[in-house]
Chains A and B, each alone.
Chain A
């Protein structure tokens, strides 16, 4: 379910973890293909800066039943718990979904819905989406970006949309082909991930809130 790979860049001391969510449903999936391209470009850009990266890829398809069960019962199965942890304990997250009926897929949103709303706070995020036609590319900005804004994630300016036709696009003088957009997005994301200490600041769900008193403000009268 979760593919792990370490990408070393020689004698680099700095290591960052990058987690990838792919909400593609078919196998093979063009959504996963885009996710892999974004991840590889990010790892390469980090390596250029002397940062080695560990990569974890989560295909939501593999935990789709667990996600539904979590929605119904209120708790995550051990398999889903591990998947959630792989996302929330990263230094940066690449999130890629197919666009269905004008928005991110239902499975993608269901996964976001079972996360505690605080777990992506200040998380660097690179967004990607796939679709049959480029007419839906703005869904990234009117649907997906507000979702991550609500979760207080830090989303890079360039989001990458790959329509079916994009898989046959080449580079052009204005550098707007798919490969160019992936490079630009990966560069912006790698710069954030390089500085990110997010994996050291995973919130403890068992920690008391600051200032908590077991008798309350009026208890000791």
Chain B
């Protein structure tokens, strides 16, 4: 089980004092937060991709490359990489390069993006969102698994004799998650390839995601990648903590009430009841998230949204301390209880290399034995 942080990278005014960080300040804050994630013992830092204010991460691999150099064990990921408006050839090159720079500590999460104008700004049409996600990933997958690619599709110029460089580290591409909040097509795509499925469930009630994840698990098995409970599932989460639960509510409420996404809408109480957002003591967060597998099955990755809505850096770092020291160690124990041995751990480069070697080596090992018995 892997725990981590995902950030959208918004630059938002702190509603308690009216201060807004500069872009430069926010960028360096995010780099600080990422290093803190490793320091407090979590496994994953995932960065969003946006091409419009008030968001700053337009160039994720630049930031992730820096973080790679400043960390040793942290897995660098995305939340999400825009498979619709980026050229899949450039994604193949950028993330294979990052994979080498980070010694394999890289995976990525594909997403479509829901900002209408970003599509035309990159020469695309939002009405083609699903076909773009399907076709572009089909090409990306080939660029990483085949040395020389001939390609013709609908959305980009054809390729003849193209080799994407550098080749993936150890011949094993970065692990891919497909993120979706509502599209069965994306769950089907993830299942077809045997890739991971990440449900960013932080804004919607769980019943919706129980069906979407259930569907992905069923199709994962259908396509022969393993049993349904071996499908690779990731979930979003959101928490704000203080020793005394009422202090957490009081401190977080102004940020909640003015947050870019849900601010001025539902009350904090309604939202915490209807979504995974948990505001209270560390024990309340433990109880809420330990219960997730009751709804979604044993899963592989839990990411928390921590730095948003104008929360100051100091607060975010305090929250990470609480998460790393008091919450995640207990959750690890809870998730390990009665977890069937056949349920895989969160994906790592080393595990993917071992799996590949196991699959490719065994026929050779078997062959001489077959010779002998003949």
Contact = CB atoms under 8 A, between A and B. Distances in A.
B293 interface: no
B53 interface: no
B152 A207 contact: no
A72 to B, nearest CB: 4
A213 interface: yes
What interface size band does chain A fall in? 20 to 34
What interface size band does chain B fall in? 20 to 34
Contacts of A73: 203, 261-262, 265-266, 271
Most interface-central of B185, B212, B263 (chain A CB within 10 A): B185
A213 to B, nearest CB: 7
B215 interface: yes
Contacts of A78: 205, 274
A28 B364 CA distance: 81
Contacts of B211: 206
Nearest to A71: B265
B138 A75 contact: no
Interface string A42-69: 0000000000000000000000000011
B321 interface: no
Contacts of A205: 182, 184
A75 B150 contact: no
Interface string B151-167: 11110000000000000
B270 interface: yes
Contacts of A81: 205
A212 B265 contact: no
B141 to A, nearest CB: 8
Query: Secondary structure of the B side of the interface?
Result: helix
A78 B274 CA distance: 8
B138 A218 contact: yes
Given A69-B265, A77-B274, A78-B205, A218 B152 contact: yes
Interface in B161-215: 182, 184-185, 188-189, 191-193, 203-205, 208, 211-212, 215
A118 to B, nearest CB: 14
A79 to B, nearest CB: 10
B138 A219 contact: yes
Given A73-B261, A75-B204, A216 B138 contact: yes
Interface of A: 68-69, 72-75, 77-78, 81, 205-209, 212-219, 221
Interface of B: 131, 134-135, 138, 142, 150-154, 182, 184-185, 188-189, 191-193, 203-205, 208, 211-212, 215, 261-266, 270-271, 274
Given A73-B261, A81-B205, 16 more contacts: A69-B265, A72-B266, A75-B204, A75-B274, A77-B266, A78-B205, A205-B182, A214-B191, A215-B192, A216-B153, A217-B135, A217-B154, A218-B153, A219-B135, A221-B142, A221-B150
